[in-house]
Amino acid sequence: MMGSNRPGASPAAPFPLLVPTTSPPAITPTTDHGVAGIGATPAGDAVLERLRAWPGDRRVAVGLSGGVDSSLTAALLLAAGWQVEGLTLWLMSGKGSCCAEGLVDAAGLCEQLGIPHHVVDSRERFRNQIVDLLVQGYADGITPLPCSRCNREVKFGPMLAWAREELGVERIATGHYARVRPAAAPGERHQLLRGLDAHKDQSYFLYDLPQDALGRLVFPLGELTKADTRAEAARLGLRTAAKPESQDLCLADHHGSMRAFLDAHLAPQAGQIVLADGTVVGRHDGIHHFTIGQRRGLGVAWKEPLHVVALDAARNRVVVAPRAEAARSHCEVGAVNWVSIAPPETPLEVAVQVRYRSAPVAALLTPLPAIASDHAADRPHRCRLRFQEPQFSITPGQAAVFYADEVLLGGGLIQSAGEADPA
């Protein structure tokens, strides 16, 4: 189901009440409104020049969440002379930035810019691909990473397909802080690069995108800092310029907290908190409330701080250990998607991130034969990572993403962690 709002017309069902009754005046790509003039920052000027010099077709659908990043993306493309249409995925019903609030702000932004706005009902896909998988993962004792899967299976792939089929548009743009270096020649690979703002770089969540998607993406904010984005949005008078940034996973934002989301889907199941030797040190009400590396909130009184080192779903146990016993020397990574390079056949030294906010660390990557689950995920590659220094919080279900300087080489899902090493 899709709703479409073109300037001067009422929005079609199913969102008859989502467009504000009043909005700021429309912004058009003329210097009268300041949109196509000098940017508020040198980086903003540079982005406009690159967009104006873009070769080929300049029609684009912009994925709009209702936040400042996607709003500025649309405004910059419009200012650079592109033909822009807004596209919002309706993922959930209720409160939150991915729900009614985001839809209202996205619709209002499109009215302000004077561009069409399309709403695609993606609730069933989101529930099947993300919610159900997330709940099952936590029940099985892993800590799933929904964002990278959502980007591939719910957002980028379906948006690209919808834009092509419904609008005849080949490209989509989003407000992600990442960059794409186009293939230098036919048959070569597009490369995915970190965003220049190290604090906002979101390439980690994009590791699972295929080559055909990368070649059709535009990331105007990849060379901006968040401060640049705020300054440019304020210069343009965008209605979302000062909108606070969501700090949580969309499901946590929607339900109030991740714990509340999980409690809504998984029943309490009392079990033991144990040391590696089986000594019982406490009790819990569900392994889904814990994650590898967790120290706070264990409810355990012990002679030294304890960290979660394993979740044993079969026996409904949370295994804890002192920090000195919690480090891991290696891990196995499955369903690997090789992005910027062809799958290597020999060991490779990489910098690897094992969580979004973790610093990259040196590791030796050794290719392994793919197994059935890798083939089933249509990513028939697997590897072992041996860390130069033992690492904490190596968490099955999270992504391990490999880099060479600013270039994202590939990534996959952590399947298992190696033996404990002394700190």
Catalytic residues: 150, 250
Q: Could you give the C-alpha distances from 291 to 104, 144, 268, 270, in angstroms and in order? A: 35, 10, 16, 16
Token reading at 50: 């690159």
Residues 189 and 342 sit within 8 Å (Cβ to Cβ): yes
Sheet architecture: strand order including 217-218: 2-5, 117-121, 83-90, 59-63, 171-173, 217-218
